[in-house]
Structure 1
Amino acid sequence: MKKSVAGLLWVLCLVSSCSVLKKKEVAGTASEKAYTQSETKPYDKVITKEAVSHKGLMDVHRVDQTYYLEIPDSLLQREMLVVSRFIKTPAGAPAYGGEEIGEKTIWFEKGPANKIFLRVQTLVSKASEEDAISRAVNNSSASPIMEAFDIEAIKGKDKSYVIDVTNFINSENALLSLSDEQKKKLNLLSLEKDKSYIRDINTYPINTEIKTVKTYKAKISEDKRENLPAAVLSGVVTVEINNSIVLLPKVPMKKRYFDNRVGYFASSYWEYGDDQQRADRNTYIHRWRLEPKEEDMERWKRGELVEPEKAIVFYIDPATPEKWRSYLIQGVNDWQEAFEQAGFKNAIVGREWPEDNDSMSLEDARFSVIRYFASPVRNAYGPNITDPRSGEIMESHIGWYHNVMNLLHNWYMVQAGVIDPRARKMKFDDELMGELIRFVASHEVGHTLGLRHNMGASHATPVEKLRDSAWLEKHGHTSSIMDYARFNYVAQPEDHISIKGMMPRIGDYDKWAIQWGYSRFPGQMSPDEEKELLSQWATDSISANPRLWFGGEGRDFDPRSQSEDLGDNAVIASAYGIKNLQRVVPELLEWTREDKSDDYEGLEEVYNAVYRQYDKYVTHVLKNIGGLYVTPKTIGDQGDVYAPVDKTRQKEALDFIDTYVFHEPSWLLYGDVVNKIEAPLSKKNFSKTMEGVMTTLLGGSRLSRMEFIADRYKYEEPYMPEEFVADVSGLVWKELESNMPVDPYRRSIQKAYVASILTLYNPKEPKGGFIDALLAKLSEGSTLHTDVRAIALARLMTLEDRLKRSIPFTRDSMTRMHYQFIYRQIRDAVGEEKLPLQIYPFQMGMSVQDGEQ
């Protein structure tokens, strides 16, 4: 008989704890009496008249400096989520007030000998209670007892158990304190108990909040950069921590199964059943619980937009500068349109924090907050806290670092400065900075809704459409704000693109992903039935609209899924981007000028941003060479999951590298700029960049992958590794054909080429230096049992012969010395014995100019 997932029983308790429940029915058995009983006292002798009490999820009592929790019998065995956050951190720490420390799921249970046990959930596997295998799962799913509390008193017929939690909260434990890894990061040692205390415990209907001050003995490191100022001054470090204990729903939210074609964060566990022949991985997405109000159910069934029973609310940290709050709120509210596509209006709202409400706390896990950190870190992030049983998102605290504005400024000036005149100064107007803040807020809110990065979204836009004003007004420059698409760097000044066509915004993919994850279906569908429907929906939707494709985080070899790229052709898009950078560099002196008394710090910062942008364009193009398209599919979808990048596109990418890397980018060495920010070492720095490109271009991993693709996929015209290396050689050694002098930059290119080929030939014996060692590390192992080393040897022997014949006719003295150095380097590595060159150049796929003339 087919069993519903909704009918599964959580089998997370230890067998002994389940037997304890049975003992409740037969009190006073012999086995119970065998334990040493701890005596309980009359309730009023423990919770005296002097007690300061608060009623809530668990009543809290404070008698002098002792804290008691009163746990009702109805709360035993109920799962609770414990979320720990910093309230205050020491100066200089890599963490800030409001940031999460950790989360765990716990429950209390009645133990023998008048004990209350605190267990920590370890969800790895489960099974239906109706299946015999559930016993085996139960036997291998023991959740640890973290603490055993004496029952100090019992209240009432319904029974509520009073336990003393003072020592437990003040102790160093894995539930309420810092983890070993966090202490190591902060150079903290043991807890100083006499300098640690409970600041306050408050309780509310579904949560209890514990605030503590904890002081740790600090370790002083020899590396002064690792030491916190407080540790140096006093030898100790003090932090303030908030622990939220939140009651999870008695009936978990219905799960929605994960589909790797739609980008959601997910949780999973192993699921067992009597009818299985293998264990199943049960994977379900993270999402908020959105349900129509009871009175709106009929309207919802008719397809009308309705407000949810409980909206998603994000509060703005009152520490946020007032002028930015409205933009952060807009960033939250921008998602309302996406939820309307899922059938809900006003499903998500941003609000100011009610500072006059003493019953609310920023650290309270019931409230989602955009926390503002006074930090030089240039970042923002959007986590979500979930019910591990169902994937239900309970709350989120978005982290917003003050200095993210500095990052936004540099991005926008470099990428959009030639289009938007407002970007041509070091301090943006509030309106422009507010628009940039809004975009980042929308991105981070997307993460809190369960959405992962979609680095493939920008590939859905044809490059030339990025220059089409009308098209951009309608669609935006990327299909998802969850991409790292930043700003439209492809648009040229003559295109007259509006600001709307330059900025990221919530797109087609985002709306569809929310619809897929949050739409509800009439009737009582099981998760399995929903899975079938949602899978077909994904198949039909993505095949009908390629803009809905999810490209993942860009961690594989797919050039469509890259961080901070634009368009469906990185070669063309990057060429447009560099064209704009060439316009930006001569203007930097003027754009970064603030006051005559200022130094050139701003100029240097923005110039470095230009350089990094150039480097990104090169990286985007490089990924096409040896690239492999990865398109997740189900059996019902058409087409292959894996397909190589077209050979023509790979050759175009190599031509780009020749144009913009193999020849010195003199436009980037603009004298009026470079001479004001550093000593004349830029060419050396660019040589390092070029060497890095050569390292990855001729890396053993790339060449082995090209060989594997050609052999495994049997395509008509693959880009063979021997042909690719020959093409690179032809571009690098052009001067050998014309007997022209080789300039310093090109000499560096040629040296880097030889270092790469030598490392391919013998990766276990790098010739010295950082680049050689890096090349060896990348190549070692990846080229074993491939033809890559043979290809490298052939290239070295060919080049040695060409150099030998060219040196006597080289007139430029520095070029001749350079050739002699390379010749000697190859000869020392390869040795004297060589095969006759004339028998193999064409067989190896080399061009005429590389072989015997």
Structure 2
Amino acid sequence: MIPAQTQPKPYKEVITDKAISHTGLFTVHRVEEKWYFEIPDSILGRDILVSTRYSKTAAGGNYGGEQVNLQTIRWDKGPAHTLFMRILTIVNVAADSSQPIAQAVTNSNMNPIAAAFDVKAYGKSADSTSGTTVIEVTDFFKGDNQPVSLTPAIKRRFNLAAIDAPRSYIESIHTFPINTEVRTVKTYTSAPTPATPVMGGRAPAGSLAAADAAGVVTVELNNSFYLLPKIPMRRRLFDPRVGYFASQYTTYGDDQQRVEETEFIHHWRLEPKDEDIEKWKRGELVEPRKQIVYYIDPATPKKWRPYLIAGINDWQAAFEKAGFKNAIVGKEWPEHDSTMSLEDARFSVIRYFASDIENAYGPNVADPRSGEILESHIGWYHNVMKLVHDWYMIQTAAVDPRARKMKYDDALMGDLIRFVSSHEVGHTLGLRHNMGSSSKTPVEKLRDKTWVEANGHTASIMDYARFNYVAQPEDNITPKGLYPRIGDYDKWAIVWGYKGIPDTRNEEEDKKILNQWIIDSLKSNPRLWFGGEGQNFDPRAQTEDLSDNAMKAGEYGIKNLKRILPNLPEWSKEEADRYDNLSEMYQQLVGQYNRYMGHVLKNIGGVQETFKSVEQPGDVYEATPKAMQKEAIDFLNKNLYATPTWLLNKDILNKFSNPGLEEAVTMVQANNLKSLLSAGRLFRLYVCTGRYGSSAYSVDDLLADAKKGVWSELGPAAPIDIYRRKLQKEYVADLIALITPEPPAALPPGLPPGLLIIFTGDIRNTDIPSAARAQLVELRTEITGAIAREGDKASRNHLQDVLERIKQALNPKQ
């Protein structure tokens, strides 16, 4: 028997004359201090996306506008006058709901019930065509219920415990035709975590300043309930040759002989208006049924807003290639329109955060069933301007006089903001980073004024290619040839993801056409290659690099650094500055030098990965050519392992550093050398030699070439400077570690065991320890001979010490 108090009451007894009501996705009623949702039967069983963002947050705990939770829910009627909120976990689906296997899939995918509500009353919809269910939601939103609160991971991160009910409340609820917005204030108990205070006087790591001051942390959250389309957009199937974010799930069908993984890209729904369909089919430019609009946060400084908008509008040219004009636009936020909210899931916004973080990010929120992008809130941190300033000064000050100061003119800073805006908007359109794009630009073209100003130094704004550091002063290249821009790849990727394919029946037919687009396009223009996000061993796909040859590009980059360094005291000068600027920019310059070394290093043991379909000729995996690997070690021997004395400019270092900052340079040497001789890199050389034979660069080749550079003083028995002595000890220590290798460290649970070998290399029973031992034996002989000839005392002491270390390693029992 159902208790009497749970029985629904007549509608008028619940939603009384005191109710303040608003219709929308859910009709929202406020009756004194209670809040009610009236949910029409027409949306029962419909998929609803719930996006939770900070409206306001405690100091140090992220920023207003950032997303902190994303769930897909569904309302279902339960027994005994209850309404369930289920969380959808889309992992497996049936290809066709009418097939018998669909029932098996349903039986294997029970969605959890996140909340159960007593039905307070039943009613009728506004048009009286369907029934409605009234539930009270006051305590649900005031409480710490996971679908509408912070995730467990965030609460653990900031040491947030139980919610404090008296200090938690509903701020407001607004409802609109396809979404309902709930704003709440939640207060969590929190004890400070004992830890060493972080820089800048913030709270201890793991807790927030509010926890230390009050023992609680208060945040304001906005929940957006967004009704997903009744019929999902047709999916466009993912292809690794084009860089799109994607979702996936396992698909089952009666006609299958094996389970299939269905992976589909994230992209906006762009469709022609009904009256323009025939024009669209003929390839004429048409306006989309619904434009993609990005608003600028009114907290953004006014002088930067036009540049952010320009970065958005720059994508219009790409969408025109896909058949749509005016498809995307940036707009000022209508500040006096009370019907609009920055947290409203219907509006995409560039949110401006008052933060010292040097970054920006561009997420997208997509329908998990189809990949349709629904909205985006780009995060723009105020201090991203420092990031682009430092990049531009260190990479272009040798060729652009505007870069030679600590505060840029608004026009220059605006240009730099515009490029970052375009990059982040690209992500919200579905595009991933394309770190390989810059490798399709021949290095000498970066110095060709006519070519680079016409084509750009990389084919993709989604690359981390920053600025043209290869350009030399005598090339007279203008900013047009220095800045990143939306390029050939970006326009083509938008075509591939957004151009309509008329008259096909399903996504599988689309897939065949899209495959042919890739084949034809790459054949006619290799600059359209998607090189991935730099997470593999392909030296063509790297962050912050330029051109098809890292060694030549690095030589040009170092030439410019040598021009910039002696001028840094003048270019970084500001009134009353106590050389803080000089210290900061010197470290930025050393960091840029370190990047050049890293770009070159990745060529050694490199494996090129070029995804192809069966219709395309050539291999997917190839070792980096032997000649290029040889060129790489020669570069390192010349520009890194030979002491870079030009970086150790005492006239500059004496302005801001006690003796010791030189360690920044020696650390670049030591870290690079350790990576060069790492088990993972040597293992890749070893297996490539097994596959490709003498055409591959081998472990023996590398050890011999590295020894020539690191130990060049042994032949003539020349004095060895203090930096080289340290480097040589590092070299011997790295070799000793190779002759008695430890078992590879365990990977995190759930990752394929094969990754262990690829990344760390289990070299214990390979030829690598043998090769390392043989080189130590050679070194023992050569060092023994050099000691007798060495006239410099410090060098002789060093050699005797190293010789003893080698002897102990080779014969540990003696």
Structure 1 residues 812 and 765: alpha-carbon distance in aligned structure 2, compared to 1, 3 A threshold: farther
Match of 2:641 among 654, 662, 669: 662
Matching residue of 2:362: 382
Matching residue of 1:14: none
SS in 1 for 2:46: coil
Given residue 639 of structure 2, which amino acid in structure 1 is its aligned partner?
Y
Structure 1 residues 779 and 733: alpha-carbon distance in aligned structure 2, compared to 1, 3 A threshold: farther
CA distance in 2, matches of 1:765, 1:602: 46
Match of 1:115 among 82, 95, 109: 82
Structure 1 residue 722 corresponds to structure 2 residue 700: yes
SS in 2 for 1:238: strand
Instruction: Check the 8 A contact 1:469/1:495 in 2, yes or no.
Output: yes
What are structure 2's unaligned runs of at least 5 residues? 198-203, 745-756
Given residue 725 of structure 1, which amino acid in structure 2 is its aligned partner?
L
Deviations 1:266-314 (Å, cap 9, x if unpaired)? 0000001122111000000000000011122222222211110100000
User: How far has the Cα of 1:654 moved from its partner?
Assistant: 0.6
Residues 288-367 of structure 1 correspond to what in structure 2 (within 5 A)? 288-367=268-347
Q: How many residues align?
A: 790
Deviations 1:753-783 (Å, cap 9, x if unpaired)? 10110011113499xxxxxxxxxx9997521
User: How far has the Cα of 1:238 moved from its partner?
Assistant: 0.4
Given residue 564 of structure 1, which amino acid in structure 2 is its aligned partner?
E
Matching residue of 2:414: 434
Structure 1 residue 75 corresponds to structure 2 residue 38: no
Structure 1 residues 780 and 479: alpha-carbon distance in aligned structure 2, compared to 1, 3 A threshold: closer
SS in 1 for 2:772: helix
Given residue 651 of structure 1, which amino acid in structure 2 is its aligned partner?
K
RMSD: 1.8
Structure 1 residues 191 and 833: alpha-carbon distance in aligned structure 2, compared to 1, 3 A threshold: closer
SS in 2 for 1:189: coil
Deviations 1:516-551 (Å, cap 9, x if unpaired)? 000012224311100000011111111221000000
- Structure 1 stretches of 4+ with a deviation exceeding 6 A read 33-37, 777-780
Deviations 1:68-107 (Å, cap 9, x if unpaired)? 00001111001100000000011122x1000001111111
CA distance in 2, matches of 1:220, 1:130: 56
Matching residue of 1:48: 16
Deviations 1:188-245 (Å, cap 9, x if unpaired)? 1111111100001110000000000000111211113324221111111100000000
Matching residue of 2:265: 285
Segment drifting more, 599-608 vs 568-577 = 599-608
CA distance in 1, matches of 2:42, 2:396: 60
Segment drifting more, 156-165 vs 742-751 = 156-165
Instruction: Check the 8 A contact 1:332/1:442 in 2, yes or no.
Output: yes
Matching residue of 1:259: 239
Matching residue of 2:606: 627
Deviations 1:436-463 (Å, cap 9, x if unpaired)? 0000000000000000000000011100
Match of 2:182 among 195, 199, 210: 210
SS in 2 for 1:738: coil
Instruction: Check the 8 A contact 1:624/1:649 in 2, yes or no.
Output: yes
Instruction: Check the 8 A contact 1:35/1:112 in 2, yes or no.
Output: no
Matching residue of 2:721: 743
Residues 255-654 of structure 1 correspond to what in structure 2 (within 5 A)? 255-595=235-575, 597-654=576-633
CA distance in 2, matches of 1:408, 1:82: 35
Match of 1:698 among 677, 696, 711: 677
User: How far has the Cα of 1:422 moved from its partner?
Assistant: 0.8
What are structure 1's unaligned runs of at least 5 residues? 1-32, 767-776, 835-853
% of aligned pairs identical? 53
Q: Normalising by structure 2, report the TM-score.
A: 0.95
User: How far has the Cα of 1:808 moved from its partner?
Assistant: 2.5
CA distance in 2, matches of 1:564, 1:685: 20
Deviations 1:633-672 (Å, cap 9, x if unpaired)? 1111110001111111111111110111111111112222
Structure 1 residues 583 and 547: alpha-carbon distance in aligned structure 2, compared to 1, 3 A threshold: same
Instruction: Check the 8 A contact 1:669/1:682 in 2, yes or no.
Output: no
Segment drifting more, 203-212 vs 674-683 = 674-683
CA distance in 1, matches of 2:507, 2:719: 71
Q: Normalising by structure 1, report the TM-score.
A: 0.91
Matching residue of 2:58: 90
Instruction: Check the 8 A contact 1:311/1:346 in 2, yes or no.
Output: yes
Deviations 1:409-450 (Å, cap 9, x if unpaired)? 000001011111111111000000000000000000000000
Instruction: Check the 8 A contact 1:699/1:779 in 2, yes or no.
Output: no
Structure 1 residues 832 and 189: alpha-carbon distance in aligned structure 2, compared to 1, 3 A threshold: closer
User: How far has the Cα of 1:383 moved from its partner?
Assistant: 0.2
Segment drifting more, 521-530 vs 363-372 = 521-530
Deviations 1:666-688 (Å, cap 9, x if unpaired)? 11122222111211213333222
Matching residue of 1:103: 70
SS in 1 for 2:471: coil
Match of 1:684 among 659, 663, 667: 663
Matching residue of 2:709: 731
CA distance in 2, matches of 1:101, 1:219: 22
SS in 2 for 1:575: helix
Segment drifting more, 394-403 vs 824-833 = 824-833
Matching residue of 1:64: 32
CA distance in 2, matches of 1:135, 1:81: 25
Given residue 12 of structure 2, which amino acid in structure 1 is its aligned partner?
D
Matching residue of 2:786: 806
Matching residue of 1:13: none
Match of 1:188 among 130, 137, 160: 160
Matching residue of 2:753: none
Matching residue of 2:218: 238
CA distance in 2, matches of 1:525, 1:505: 37
Segment drifting more, 600-609 vs 397-406 = 600-609
User: How far has the Cα of 1:805 moved from its partner?
Assistant: 2.8
Instruction: Check the 8 A contact 2:270/2:290 in 1, yes or no.
Output: yes
CA distance in 1, matches of 2:455, 2:699: 40
Given residue 616 of structure 1, which amino acid in structure 2 is its aligned partner?
R
CA distance in 2, matches of 1:833, 1:249: 74
Matching residue of 1:198: 170
